[in-house]
Amino acid sequence: MSERFAIVGAGGHAKVVVDALFASGHEVLGFYDDNPALLGAEPIPGVKVLGGTKDLPGGLEKGNGMAILAVGENRVRCRLSRRLSVQYGVACDPSAVLGRGVRVGKGSMILPSATVNIDTVIGEHAILNTSCSVDHDCAIGDFVHIAPGAHLGGGVVVGEGTFLGIGSSVIPGIRIGRWSVVGAGAVVTKDLPDNCTAVGVPAKVIKTREEGWHLA
């Protein structure tokens, strides 16, 4: 069924999300971005920046639509979701593969050629980016971003707000904490704590942050 969407953000990631929505037969009302220099611009031909986030509720009511927070930065999506009391939809490119029993939270984005296997649960406002794979029985938290070409084995748990970099891999059964960062190309072979940055093969923690750093 065709639905209407308003897109928060007007950068490159937002354009990919709009492309996925168009490919799925949905209508895009426009972009909403707090950069005043973008007002009236067309990041995609025919789709304008209609205003800032303060204008979003009125635009959704007028257009009878739902919103997507199409911003790649996890903590920005988290802040926006707390501030904006609107209805959210899901963007799922038709080339993505979702197994039986997969559950996807509101506001999440599943982009071209992503694979999500049976009985995996995806939280709210998560990004499963181009050609990533998430195997069976995984649990992906709210505001997680799995970057292009990252691969997760079965039974992996990824905590809220964590970022898995391009081409990273996680072996089966691993637990990664909240608001952590896994660097591009890293291979995670052991559990990782909250608020850490891990890089390398195998991945090792090189930095830790204070609890709540993402709210600063």
Go through the domains of the chain in sequence order and give each one's CATH number.
4-83 (3.40.50.20), 92-203 (2.160.10.10)
> Which residue in the list 136, 145, 151, 214 is annotated as catalytic?
136
Q: What is the pLDDT of residues 153-203, one digit of tens each?
A: 999 999 999 999 999 999 999 999 999 999 999 999 999 999 999 999 999
Quote the tokens at residue 164: 């898995």
Peptide bond into 202 cis (omega under 30): yes
Q: What pLDDT is recorded for position 69? A: 99
Annotated active-site residue 13? The verdict is no
Which pTM value belongs to this model?
0.96
- Nearest C-alpha neighbor of 8 from the set 59, 61, 63, 62: 59
DSSP per residue, 16-82: HHHHHHHHTT-EEEEEE-S-GGGTT--SBTTB-EEE-GGGHHHHHHHHT-EEEE--S-HHHHHHHHH
DSSP 215: G
Residue 80 pLDDT > 80: yes
Q: What is the pLDDT of residues 191-200, one digit of tens each?
A: 999 999 999 9
